[in-house]
């Protein structure tokens, strides 16, 4: 594969930087002059650039590198902001980042390479390769509360396997040292791991794994998904099976063949000027990376690798190609398919993370997988896969669109990274052009009085593109925090709630069945009609009657609607100077409609209008049985997006 970069408006300095850096990250880099070749709108790609530039100006993070590959060609590679804000060093396309948990996908591929070679068995006990992990005990749980009883242990029902390590179902956990992300847990067993099996930068993986052998598992192997040190254990398995140190195996077997020229566990002296600083981070808080300017001793397969956007694009393209890149075969195609197939039984829930079957997200062998066409935490089509790193790195691969998205930044507060991950999952899809309809036939301009029936706010859910469909509750001018629901015969099934939303704070839970809103049954109502019941003014009370599987009695939960947060996709339609105009008013611009700017639309036919300039976005208004306008459809057809009118 030869990456190609689309040319679109950039500053002269950025263009010069891209050209000078090109040889470092791609062989025979070619420039494509027109983004339309890969199906992108140049104007909407520039909109994405502006968004990231605006975030960089806030100082934390001080900069980004965003890369997009479409159909095997580099469509976008844009650095913004600074590598080091204090020193005013500009970000570069090949700036080097700590990729945190995106190391896990590299470790997964390395593991499966040995499986392909017949040197490692997926369902073999880990103890076959690491005897120090034989006969591990498991913490008992209180049958009434489900809480762990740390001082009471029982034998494992079966041994943890290599597949368990890849699936995060080994029973291992992450440690909770004094500087850990609270998301790793602060229960007694997490603290125990931190005390008895700490990450020691001056010790090899073998020493760390030996420490794990003295500790209990939190869960029975194969029964619970728990984010854990399992990928660090896999690094040691690879060492034992291959006879090489883990860093040497990755360099000789993966990084060098894929020309991932800047990836590894440390940054050599001649590249240190490209290492991105972490704003505000004290040296002791640089957990896994340590002093990456020096050779490492502990090679963390779970979070210790540094890389660049161009390098990781090549890694992802290899996976998208079915395990091959530029004539180099890394994995068998059937192995890649296995890794990207949900491996989780329906009764296993993902501990500590809002993912799982109910959320349209499964877990393969090292990757989160989209499983639901209408809602998922994973952007793109069903079968898309992604993950992220705690320092602020994110990637996603859509096999249907043949699209790779990567964003890298460096931040100390990983709990706030979701804001930026939402941007990289939305903005590139919103820049893709949909097939254009036949040239519009001239239509009579309707008078201003007739246009008023279209006036209102239309909410389109959580995505700025139908190619990344995210059906969600259209709350209108207020917000309940019911992020995703599905209609069932007896009511609305809650799929996902926003953690800090009004409904979640009041006690509504995922899996609840809402049967009545404000004492009125919603049985048999359409989703649209139910949304109208949910909608209401800010500060207005709402009461839900709920059936919950774990309780026999009907539950009544009341709370107050709040102001809509800035994450929805919505359009405001008005009449101005005798013309219908449209403006994006939610969290994101959508198609030809920008935030803070009205765009006039011309009549195309009855109830259908289009944007004469730009990308000719079409908007068709829908009506209910009584003939009243009740919604809108953007670009009617296979890639349409439907929105509900909220008065």
Give the pLDDT confidence score for residue 313 in this predicted structure.
95
Express the helix, strand and coil content of the chain in percent, nearest 5 each.
25, 25, 45
Q: How many helices (H) and strands (E) does the chain have?
A: 14, 34
| DSSP 8-state secondary structure symbol assigned to residue 91 | P
pLDDT above 60 (res 473): no
Tell me the sheet residues that pair with 153.
Answer: 139
Cis before 61? omega within 30: yes
Determine the Cα–Cα distance for residues 178 and 173; give it in Å rounded to an integer: 16
CA distance 516 to 106: 48
**CA separation for the pair 590, 610 (Å, rounded):** 14
The pLDDT-based confidence of 530 (bands split at 50, 70, 90) is: confident
Q: Helix H segments across 29-81?
A: 42-56
Top mean pLDDT of 212-216, 286-290, 455-459 is at 212-216
Burial 532-566 (b: 16+ CB within 10 A, else e): bbbbbeeeeebebbbbbeeeeeebebebebbebee
Q: Check if the beta carbon of residue 32 is closer than 8 Å to that of residue 4.
A: yes
CB-based contact 573:611 (threshold 8 Å): no
Nearest to 407 by CA among 308, 552, 515: 308
pLDDT at residue 374 in the model: 74
Which two three-digit tokens encode residue 412? 């100390």
Look at residue 283 in the predicted model and tell me its pLDDT: 46
Summarize pLDDT for 343-364 with one digit per residue, the tens. Answer: 988 777 654 444 455 567 889 9
Output the CA–CA distances (angstroms, integers) from residue 53 to 79, 268, 567, in the order listed.
9, 29, 19
Angle 605-608-612 (CA atoms, 0-180°, nearest 5)?
Answer: 90
Mean pLDDT value of segment 426-450 = 73
Q: What per-residue confidence (pLDDT) applies to 476? A: 47
Give me the chain's average pLDDT, please.
84
Indicate the pairing of strand 478-479 with strand 562-563. antiparallel
- Pick 645 or 186 by higher pLDDT: 645
Alpha carbon of residue 612 to chain centroid: 34
Would you put residue 506 in left (φ > 0), alpha (ψ -120 to 50) or beta? alpha
What does the alpha-carbon distance between residue 368 and residue 377 come to, in Å, rounded to a whole number?
9
| Residue 412 in this model has a pLDDT that exceeds 70 | yes
In angstroms, how far is CA 422 from the centroid of its own chain? 7
Residue 482: pLDDT band (50, 70, 90) is confident
Q: Residue 414 pLDDT more than 90?
A: no
Query: Has this prediction a pTM greater than 0.85?
Result: no
**Quick one: pLDDT at residue 4?**
38
- Look at residue 287 and tell me whether its pLDDT is greater than 70: no
State the average pLDDT over residues 301-321. Answer: 96
What digits encode the pLDDT tens for the residues 98-152? 999 999 999 999 999 999 999 999 999 999 999 999 999 999 877 766 666 777 8
CA 397 to chain centre: 10
* 392: confidence class by pLDDT, cuts 50, 70, 90: very high
| Residues 129, 119: Cα–Cα separation, whole Å | 11
Do 445 and 602 form a contact (C-beta atoms < 8 A)? Answer: yes
- Spell out a b/e string for 486-524, using b for 16 or more CB atoms within 10 Å of the CB, else e: ebeeebbbbbbbbeebbbbebebebebbbbbbeeeebee
Per-residue pLDDT band for 177 (boundaries 50, 70, 90) equals low
Give pLDDT, residue 443.
Answer: 55
């Amino acid at each position: 594969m030869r990456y190609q970069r689309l040319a679109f408006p950039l500053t002269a300095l950025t263009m010069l930087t891209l050209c000078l850096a090109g040889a470092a990250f791609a062989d025979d880099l070619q420039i494509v002059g027109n983004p339309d070749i890969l199906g992108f709108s140049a104007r909407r790609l520039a909109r994405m650039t502006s968004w990231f530039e605006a975030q960089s100006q806030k100082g934390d993070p001080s900069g980004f590198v965003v890369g997009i590959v479409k159909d095997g060609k580099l469509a976008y590679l844009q650095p913004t902001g600074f590598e080091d804000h204090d020193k005013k060093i500009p970000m570069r396309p090949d700036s080097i980042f700590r990729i945190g948990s995106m190391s896990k996908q590299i470790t997964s591929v390395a593991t499966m390479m040995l499986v392909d070679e017949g040197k490692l068995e997926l369902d073999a006990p880990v103890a076959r390769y690491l005897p120090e992990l034989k006969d591990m005990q498991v913490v008992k749980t209180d049958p009434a509360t489900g809480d762990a009883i740390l001082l009471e242990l029982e034998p494992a029902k079966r041994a943890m396997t290599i597949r368990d390590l890849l699936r995060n179902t080994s029973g291992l956990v992450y440690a909770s040292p004094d500087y850990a992300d609270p998301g790793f847990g602060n229960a007694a067993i997490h603290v125990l791991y931190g005390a008895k099996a700490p990450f020691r930068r001056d010790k090899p993986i073998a020493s760390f794994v030996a420490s794990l052998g003295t500790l209990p598992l939190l869960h029975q192997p194969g029964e619970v998904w728990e984010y854990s040190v399992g990928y660090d254990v896999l690094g040691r398995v690879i060492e034992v099976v291959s006879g090489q140190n883990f860093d040497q195996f990755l360099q000789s077997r993966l990084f060098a063949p894929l020309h991932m020229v800047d990836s590894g566990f440390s940054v050599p002296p001649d590249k240190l000027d490209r290492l991105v600083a972490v704003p505000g981070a004290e040296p002791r808080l640089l957990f896994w990376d340590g002093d990456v300017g020096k050779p490492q001793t502990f090679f963390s397969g779970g979070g210790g690798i540094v890389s660049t956007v161009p390098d990781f694009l090549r890694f992802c393209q290899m996976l998208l190609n079915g395990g091959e890149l530029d004539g180099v075969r890394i994995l068998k195609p059937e192995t890649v398919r296995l890794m990207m197939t949900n491996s989780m039984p329906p009764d296993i829930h993902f501990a500590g993370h809002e993912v799982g079957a109910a959320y349209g997200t499964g877990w393969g062998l090292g990757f989160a997988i989209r499983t639901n066409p209408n809602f998922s935490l994973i952007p793109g089509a069903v079968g898309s896969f992604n993950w992220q790193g705690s320092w602020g790195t994110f990637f996603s691969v859509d096999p249907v669109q043949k699209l790779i998205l990567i964003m890298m930044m460096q931040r100390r507060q990983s709990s706030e990274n979701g804001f930026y991950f939402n941007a990289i999952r939305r903005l590139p899809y919103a820049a893709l052009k949909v097939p254009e309809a036949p040239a519009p036939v001239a239509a009579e301009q309707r008078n201003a009085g007739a246009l008023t029936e279209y006036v209102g706010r239309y909410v389109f859910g959580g995505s700025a593109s139908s190619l990344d469909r995210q059906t969600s509750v259209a709350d209108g001018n207020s917000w309940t925090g019911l992020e995703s629901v599905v209609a069932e015969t007896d009511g609305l099934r809650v799929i996902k709630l926003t953690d800090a939303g009004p409904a979640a704070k009041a006690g509504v839970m995922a899996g609840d069945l809402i049967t009545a809103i404000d004492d009125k049954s919603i049985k048999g109502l359409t989703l649209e009609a139910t949304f109208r019941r949910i909608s209401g003014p800010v500060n207005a009370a709402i009461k839900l009657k709920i059936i919950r599987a774990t309780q026999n009695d009907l539950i009544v939960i009341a709370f107050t609607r709040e102001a809509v947060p800035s994450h929805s996709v919505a359009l405001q339609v008005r009449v101005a100077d005798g013309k219908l105009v449209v403006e994006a008013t939610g969290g994101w611009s959508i198609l030809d409609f920008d935030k803070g700017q009205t765009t006039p639309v011309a009549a195309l036919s009855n109830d259908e209008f289009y944007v004469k300039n730009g990308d000719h976005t079409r908007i068709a208004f829908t009506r209910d049985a009584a003939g009243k306008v009740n919604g809108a459809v953007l670009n009617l057809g296979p890639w349409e997006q439907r929105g509900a009118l909220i008065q």
